[in-house]
Structure 1
Amino acid sequence: MTTQHPAQPDRGPALRLLSLGAGVQSTTVLLLACEGEIPRFDYALFADTGWEPRAVYAHLERLRAHAAKAGIPVRRVTAGDIRADALNPKHRFVSMPLHTLNPDGSRGLARRQCTSEYKINPLKKAARELLGYPHPRPVPKGVYAEQAIGISTDEIGRAKDSGLRFLRNVFPLLDLGFDRTACVDYLTEHGFAATVKSACVGCPFHGNTGWRWIRDHDPDGWAEAVAFDHAIRNGHPRATTHGQPLRGQYYLHRSCVPLDQADLDPPTRQRHLNLATTHEDDDTDGCSPWSCRSGTPAPDTEERAA
């Protein structure tokens, strides 16, 4: 006769974490915690790719000071500088979703793993270390961190589980019924109306709205993006130096023309009818960890959720 052991009761999270992208939604979640409208976080973790707009880094420092008053430490976690790594011939290939122009004139999109490498993995590592079980130590069953993700009701399709036994995603904005407009209103009421969208300066998912903002508000970032766009035209420098055949040319802008030559003007009504050439649509799904279109890589066996 087999003895059935009762399931262990859920003792609650050992830690409450916030995945802080420093954009509109995650900033709202942090402020809600600072105001005591949702449970306080033990840590807010900012996964830094090293290539955010200057305004985002300035905003992050202001958030750090504001959250400290509520006893919430804001920490940066990082896997490196994505721009420097992508241009380093000695570094392994950084899989960014670059737009490709193939020899036959067709277009495509390069593989995307940058969210996993530069956001998800550093957050997983930090969660393990904060729980007291750095890799490769297994996290005991029943021990987990609760991780808040800034997904608003207009983005509900992006809400995903972490897929990890020791990290459980929760979505405070969904629980409160906040859409993006409600977030903007909340930020305005609390003195953070100038919060900008958080995304890598050179993210190929920018639409013209995003590229115009960088060009007009972050001239240093724009110069970096233009230089990067030219540098990656023939692929990763490591592949080039090793004589690997070029399958096409790579671009940051969806039109597959050099960024500094791309038409970024707002569409007139007539131009708006031709969305294939205006590229005015913005990167509405962004690259928030565990909620990007590429999904989450399979975790190690001992980390998988039951």
Structure 2
Amino acid sequence: MNDPLSVLSYGAGQDSAAILALLIEDRAFRRRYAPGHLLVMMSDTGNEHPQTYEYVAFTREQCAAHGVPFLFLTPDQGYHTSAWQSLLHQLDRTHTIVGKAMNRKACTSNLKLAPLYKALDAYLAEQYGLPGGWQDRGGTRALTPGKRALYAYAQRYGRVPMMIGFAAGEERRAKTPPNEERFMRECVQRVYPLLDAGLDRAGAQQVLRDLGWPVPPPSNCVMCPFKRDAEILWTARTLPDDFATWQRLEAQKLAKFAHKGDKNMTVFGDGRTLGEVAADAAVKYATWSDADLDTYRMTHGHGVTQAY
């Protein structure tokens, strides 16, 4: 392959779905952001909402119909670490939780970004004939460390444009992290099409409707601590089994670290358990129907405090 590559970091949420729809349906947009070869990539956390997995299936169909490679990275492919096979696997293994008062970037880094860039390095090695990627070591298939293909690609073609679905109003998320890894500085060029166009979340939804694409719900994990109280209530009512698992993990963590006293935080970090947050929300939103909660869910989603 000789055409330069452009990548869409995909979450199957409203913002990245709008970018994909424009890349497929709008020729001028495609020429601007992916004039050569386009690749769409998403890493599975194992804890996406059912509607998100349904949209992943729709995305796979659309990409196949338009000749766009779509890599949906699951743990069996070898890009996830043994510790972070999924969010549930990690939390159950360590008897911990992800909470508002804790490291909010650990799950994103380990379940989304790290697998994505490992897979991108392997893709470049295979498709462009570059060093790195998968190697056979004594009969064992292993990834070459060091992002060798990414560095080789950057030397030949320049940094890989990585399209990211931050919408207008989220400009602070586009700031370069102070502890950015070297390969990101030297091999990857972040691109924000929605910011360029001044499109906010409502604008992204309208793009999808205008192009005849279904609008997915915001993409976040079922067990995301940055859900608002109304979303916690929605989760408890809509996904009771998943909510029960989340409660079990919280109770498991509280029991393990009981010796820490007040420093032993709940998911919400304010002393209330998930069950108590849901109960308080049920009182607060007593006049809301399930349809009202669905509407709220479609227009809210975590992540606005996170950089890429």
Q: Fold conserved (TM > 0.5)?
A: yes
Aligned residue identity for 1:251: T
Change (3 A) 1:137 1:214: closer
1:176 alignment counterpart:
197
Cα distance in 2 for partners of 1:218, 1:147 equals: 33
2:15 alignment counterpart:
25
1:274 alignment counterpart:
none
2:26 alignment counterpart:
36
Q: Pick from 242, 248, 252 the counterpart of residue 267 of structure 2.
A: 252
Verify: 1:54 aligned to 2:50, yes or no.
Answer: yes
Which sections of structure 2, spanning at least 5 residues, go unmatched? 75-79, 126-131, 134-144, 286-295
Cα distance in 2 for partners of 1:213, 1:43 equals: 34
Cα distance in 2 for partners of 1:193, 1:209 equals: 24
SS of the aligned residue for 2:68 comes to: coil
How does the TM-score come out when normalised to structure 2? 0.70
SS of the aligned residue for 1:146 comes to: strand
1:102 alignment counterpart:
none
Change (3 A) 1:72 1:256: farther
Give how far 1:292 is off. Answer: 5.0
Verify: 1:130 aligned to 2:123, yes or no.
Answer: yes
Verify: 1:155 aligned to 2:170, yes or no.
Answer: yes
Cα distance in 2 for partners of 1:196, 1:284 equals: 9
1:84 alignment counterpart:
89
Q: How many residues are treated as equivalent by the alignment? A: 250
Give how far 1:121 is off. Answer: 1.0
1:166 alignment counterpart:
187
Change (3 A) 1:55 1:208: same
Cα distance in 2 for partners of 1:18, 1:195 equals: 17
1:98 alignment counterpart:
99
Cα distance in 2 for partners of 1:23, 1:122 equals: 19
1:216 alignment counterpart:
237
How does the TM-score come out when normalised to structure 1? 0.71
Conservation of the 8 A alpha-carbon contact between 1:14 and 1:144? no
1:65 alignment counterpart:
61
Change (3 A) 1:230 1:125: same
SS of the aligned residue for 2:195 comes to: helix
Identity of aligned residues (%): 23
Q: Pick from 79, 96, 114 the counterpart of residue 107 of structure 2.
A: 114
Verify: 1:14 aligned to 2:4, yes or no.
Answer: yes
2:292 alignment counterpart:
none
Q: Pick from 229, 232, 235 the counterpart of residue 253 of structure 2.
A: 232
Conservation of the 8 A alpha-carbon contact between 1:208 and 1:265? no
Cα distance in 2 for partners of 1:292, 1:72 equals: 31
Cα distance in 2 for partners of 1:33, 1:245 equals: 53
Q: Pick from 205, 213, 225 the counterpart of residue 204 of structure 1.
A: 225
- 42-51 or 157-166: bigger deviation: 157-166
2:70 alignment counterpart:
74
Aligned Cα root-mean-square deviation (Å):
3.2
Cα distance in 1 for partners of 2:90, 2:161 equals: 31
